[in-house]
């Protein structure tokens, strides 16, 4: 791997690594670290790249190409989901934060491939809620639930949640309850028909929440949604008591269509979903008119929310442009040409660009050109490129700024938070997404 | 605001609390972060303001997630009223996202602020303890004297943004502060009437330190000042021991929190639940705490009734 160009914003970010930018905080110094975890589309490998200088920090061999790359709220681990390899590998990011209210401490260590791995037949949907993770294994119809700290430590005890039959499903652990998709009884190969709430002994609580053609799930703040053919299931509560699930139908103002991929806003509570090939929809379930349609100039390839600049989300379109969406006004406010066209004709699984946000930069993979494009999020200009061998595809960005005590032995009394990270398939503890354009597409 | 509106309403400045009837767009555009200061703002602004409250009745501001519509409201606001003291954890990012140019007024400025008793926490680096200060207690409004300072700050903010109607705002503020002075005395007398040995109660999260400081009723709580933290089993066991040691008189739920924890505590300590206190939010308009004054009176009534029933 080799740096081609690093623009001024990257150089500025690099400067913050040094003690010269130290922020006085007891005996610590301010430190910024960002890492890019990049899965190859064709080869079973995950590259770890320092986003600040473009250097490759590590390369991890896995079983099969990671069709989904994801991370949890802590940012301490990256999960390489390999459906055809029947495994989910765990890579520790080497970056961890410890919240102290008015600031966060940062620890930076080497990334590593954990001994922990989750095996089962055809894992796809990967969901975190409040530090509890659920991997759904489609060909078993079973989800395995685990806690991240165990995965990082390399010894994992999983709890199984059964849906009743193999299908393309999803499960979400919600405190003392689990939400799990209900397979179509007439055709297990079809999309699920709704969501069941199970207690921890696996007994269903309440009625099935109908959600025909369920596909796509996201959380923003205290609200979880599932996308259905008819609208969204909006889930609130959960924990000690069973969650409240309500159906929010698509508004009459929308054209025919449905969302099959949704992501949750960060900093602002909203959802962004696909809606047909060349549209997205902004969703605020608390509003009377919950849906705002945004038409795109061409078909959509990928979209993410900005976890740092809450006002913006980004959409890559098949004409090779990255577009900035102002989620407050609901308008496309900026765009930049980054790559040659990536037509959405052909297979859903063809290598096409993916987006992640790493601090001041938006990172876009360019699989066929073998590089990552860096776009300054403030002025929306290209700030650099990083060459990556192979076919760089899914990206997870992890990092942020904290106070470093330079590797000294820490003993913290509080949990972690107060940092930013962004990743391909979901964002943060209360904002995870599943972008199924990574593995399949039910949109068209 | 349009100048001609003020000219025709001059004569009503001294005598009317609410001011003239204005169309929505002619009113001062005000955003209040949560329901309690929303009511204070309404008392001062009356019909002269168009008020949007971000965290509504029974809402928990500690954990509120702002919506894009909140950002739009901030973008249109001329005055933004906040509590400060890190109570509105969402506010900085909302202000940034909205791009608002409105002045953001921190109403707790000048109030008598109570520090968290722990004052912060330690973490340990290379064998050395490093202290990190925690924020001050962010619930000053439970002292009515502090609420009067909030009102004063609101009037100043409105005057700064709408000088033409300043006299209205000041007149409203003065009248309301007089009402609050009477309320302060009323609360003080009601708590003073409780025998001193009975003045220990339990609530879900410690939002009442200012009430304790102002009126002499001691509150025990299983969790810290933010509802974001969850009580551990050890916290609960310790609390129940403390309740017994201090002969706590009553256990209360809060309108913004799940009541099961305090129900468990009440049950284990042998108390019936004493009712619901309004801590960080008003009730809905049909509830018993639809305004700040009603909230304080309802809380006092709930407290005194539960303690009396205990004996």
Using the predicted structure, report yes or no on whether residue A386 has a pLDDT greater than 50: yes
How close does chain B come to A21, measured CA to CA in Å?
Answer: 21
Domain with CATH 3.40.50.1980 in chain B: 3-111+138-182, 194-310
- pLDDT tens, residue by residue, A184-238: 999 989 999 999 999 989 999 999 999 999 999 999 988 999 999 999 999 998 7
Rounded Cα gap, residues B162 and B157, in angstroms: 8
Q: Where are the domains of chain A?
A: 2-423
Rounded Cα gap, residues B140 and B207, in angstroms: 9
Q: Are the beta carbons of B40 and B46 closer than 8 angstroms?
A: no
> Backbone phi, then psi, for A146, in 5-degree steps?
-145, 170
Mutate which: B58, B122, B125, B127, vs A, most A CBs within 10 A: B125
> For chain B, what is the radius of gyration of the CA atoms?
21
Contact flag B65-A269 (C-beta cutoff 8 Å): yes
- pLDDT tens, residue by residue, A269-323: 999 999 999 999 999 999 999 999 999 999 999 999 999 999 999 999 999 999 9
DSSP B236-291: HHHHHHHHHHHT--EEEEETTS-SHHHHHHHHHHT--EEEEE--SS---TTSTTSS
Q: Reduce the DSSP state of residue A162 to 3 states and report it.
A: strand
Using the predicted structure, report yes or no on whether residue A18 has a pLDDT greater than 80: no
- pLDDT tens, residue by residue, A71-113: 988 999 999 999 999 999 999 999 999 877 667 899 999 999 9
pLDDT value at position A192? 98
Share of chain A above pLDDT 90, in %: 75
Q: Reduce the DSSP state of residue A401 to 3 states and report it.
A: strand
Which residues of B have a CB under 8 Å from any CB of A? 63, 65-72, 75, 90, 93-94, 96-99, 120-128, 130-135, 258, 260
Q: Residues of B with CB below 8 A from A408's CB?
A: 125-126
pLDDT value at position A315? 98
Q: Are the beta carbons of B177 and B152 closer than 8 angstroms?
A: yes
Pairing of strands B273-277, B250-254: parallel
**Element (DSSP H or E) covering residue A123:** strand A123-129
Q: Are the beta carbons of A126 and A70 closer than 8 angstroms?
A: yes
Contact flag A311-B125 (C-beta cutoff 8 Å): no
Most confident of B5-14, B201-210, B275-284: B275-284
pLDDT band at A361 (very low <50, low <70, confident <90, very high): very high
Share of chain B above pLDDT 90, in %: 61
Contacts of A306 (CB under 8 A, 6+ apart): A266, A312, A313, A314, A357, A362, A377, A422
Using the predicted structure, report yes or no on whether residue A267 has a pLDDT greater than 80: yes
Please give the residue that has the higher pLDDT: either B247 or A395: A395
Contacts of B40 (CB under 8 A, 6+ apart): B32, B107, B147, B150, B151, B154, B176, B292
Nearest to B133 among A102, A269, A270 (CB): A102
Architecture of domain B3-111+138-182: 3-Layer(aba) Sandwich (3.40)
In the block, tokens 């080869």 appear at A43
Using the predicted structure, report yes or no on whether residue B47 has a pLDDT greater than 50: yes
Using the predicted structure, report yes or no on whether residue A13 has a pLDDT greater than 80: no
Q: Residues of A with CB below 8 A from B130's CB?
A: 26-27
> Residue A218 to residues A31, A123, A178, A305, B162: CA-CA distances in angstroms?
31, 18, 15, 12, 43
pLDDT band at B119 (very low <50, low <70, confident <90, very high): low
Residues B103-128, mean pLDDT to the nearest whole number: 71
> Residue A252 to residues A256, A257, A280: CA-CA distances in angstroms?
9, 11, 16
Contact flag A268-B97 (C-beta cutoff 8 Å): yes
Contact flag B63-A103 (C-beta cutoff 8 Å): no
Architecture of domain A2-423: 7 Propeller (2.130)
Q: Reduce the DSSP state of residue A284 to 3 states and report it.
A: coil
Architecture of domain B194-310: 3-Layer(aba) Sandwich (3.40)
Contact flag B123-A410 (C-beta cutoff 8 Å): yes
Residues A152-164, mean pLDDT to the nearest whole number: 91
Using the predicted structure, report yes or no on whether residue A375 has a pLDDT greater than 90: yes
Q: Reduce the DSSP state of residue A369 to 3 states and report it.
A: helix
Cβ-Cβ contacts under 8 Å between A and B: the total is 100
Contact flag A220-B65 (C-beta cutoff 8 Å): yes
Contacts of B117 (CB under 8 A, 6+ apart): none
Looking from the CA of A2 toward its CB, the CA atoms found within 13 Å total 1
Using the predicted structure, report yes or no on whether residue A10 has a pLDDT greater than 70: no
């Amino acid at each position: 791997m080799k740096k081609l160009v690093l623009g001024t914003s990257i150089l500025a970010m690099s400067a913050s690594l040094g003690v010269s930018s130290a922020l006085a905080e007891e005996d610590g110094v301010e430190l910024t670290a960002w890492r890019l975890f990049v899965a190859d589309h064709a080869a079973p490998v995950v590259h770890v790249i320092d986003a600040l200088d473009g250097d490759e920090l590590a390369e991890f061999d896995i079983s099969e190409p990671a069709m989904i790359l994801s991370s949890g709220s802590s940012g301490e681990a990256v999960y390489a989901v390999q459906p055809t390899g029947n495994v989910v590998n765990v890579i520790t990011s080497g970056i961890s934060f410890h919240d102290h209210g008015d600031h966060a401490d940062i620890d930076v260590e080497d990334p590593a491939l954990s001994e922990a791995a989750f095996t089962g037949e055809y894992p796809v949907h990967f969901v975190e809620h409040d530090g509890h993770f659920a991997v759904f294994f489609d060909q078993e119809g079973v989800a395995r639930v685990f806690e991240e700290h165990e995965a990082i430590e390399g010894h994992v005890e999983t709890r199984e949640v059964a849906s009743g039959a193999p299908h393309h499903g999803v499960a979400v652990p919600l405190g003392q309850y689990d939400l799990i998709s209900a397979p179509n009884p007439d055709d297990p190969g079809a999309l699920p028909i709704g969501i069941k709430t199970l207690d921890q002994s696996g007994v269903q609580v309440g009625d099935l929440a109908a959600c025909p053609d369920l596909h796509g799930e996201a959380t923003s703040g205290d609200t979880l949604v599932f996308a259905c053919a008819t609208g969204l299931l909006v889930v609130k509560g959960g924990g000690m008591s069973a969650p409240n699930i309500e159906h929010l139908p698509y508004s009459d103002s929308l054209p025919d269509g449905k969302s099959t991929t949704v992501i949750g806003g960060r900093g602002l509570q909203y959802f962004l979903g696909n809606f047909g090939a060349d549209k997205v929809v902004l969703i605020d379930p608390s509003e009377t008119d919950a849906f705002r349609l945004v038409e795109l100039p061409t078909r959509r390839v990928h979209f993410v929310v900005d976890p740092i600049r809450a006002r913006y989300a980004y959409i890559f379109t098949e004409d090779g442009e990255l577009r900035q969406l102002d989620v407050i006004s609901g308008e496309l406010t900026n765009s930049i040409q980054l790559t040659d066209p990536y037509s959405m004709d052909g297979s859903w699984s063809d290598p096409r660009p993916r987006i992640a946000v790493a601090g001041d930069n938006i990172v876009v993979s360019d699989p066929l050109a073998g590089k990552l494009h860096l776009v300054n999020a403030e002025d929306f200009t290209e700030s650099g490129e990083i060459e990556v061998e192979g076919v760089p595809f899914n990206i997870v960005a992890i990092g942020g700024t904290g106070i470093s005590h330079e590797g000294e032995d820490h003993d913290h009394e509080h949990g972690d938070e107060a940092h930013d990270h962004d990743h391909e398939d979901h964002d943060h503890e209360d904002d995870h997404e599943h972008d199924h354009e990574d593995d399949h597409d039910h949109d068209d | 605001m349009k100048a001609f509106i003020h000219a025709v309403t001059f004569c009503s400045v001294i005598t009317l609390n609410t001011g003239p009837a204005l169309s929505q767009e002619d009113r001062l555009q005000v955003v209040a972060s949560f329901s309690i200061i929303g009511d204070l703002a309404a008392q001062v602004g009356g019909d002269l303001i168009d008020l949007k409250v971000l965290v509504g009745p029974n809402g928990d501001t500690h954990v509120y997630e702002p919506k894009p519509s909140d950002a739009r409201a901030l973008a249109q606001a001329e005055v933004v009223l906040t509590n400060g003291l890190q109570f509105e954890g969402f506010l900085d990012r909302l202000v940034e996202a909205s791009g608002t140019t409105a002045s953001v007024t921190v109403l707790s400025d000048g109030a008598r602020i109570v520090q968290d008793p722990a004052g912060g926490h330690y973490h340990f680096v290379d064998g050395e303890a490093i202290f990190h200060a925690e924020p001050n207690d962010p619930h000053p409004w439970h002292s009515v004297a502090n609420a009067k300072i909030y009102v004063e700050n609101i009037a100043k903010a409105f005057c700064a943004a709408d000088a033409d109607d300043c006299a209205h705002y000041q007149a409203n503020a003065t009248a309301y502060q007089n009402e609050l002075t009477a309320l302060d005395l009323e609360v003080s007398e009601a708590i003073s009437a409780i025998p001193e040995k009975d003045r220990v109660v339990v609530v879900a999260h410690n939002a009442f330190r200012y009430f304790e400081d102002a009126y002499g009723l001691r509150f025990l709580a299983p969790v810290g000042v933010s509802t974001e933290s969850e009580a551990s089993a050890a916290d609960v066991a310790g609390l129940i021991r403390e309740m017994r040691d201090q002969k706590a008189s009553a256990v209360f739920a809060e309108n913004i929190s799940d009541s099961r924890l305090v129900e468990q505590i009440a049950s284990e300590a042998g108390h019936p639940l004493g009712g619901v206190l309004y801590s960080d939010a008003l009730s809905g308009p049909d509830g018993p705490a639809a305004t700040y004054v009603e909230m304080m009176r309802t809380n006092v009534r709930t407290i005194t009734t539960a303690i009396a029933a205990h004996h």
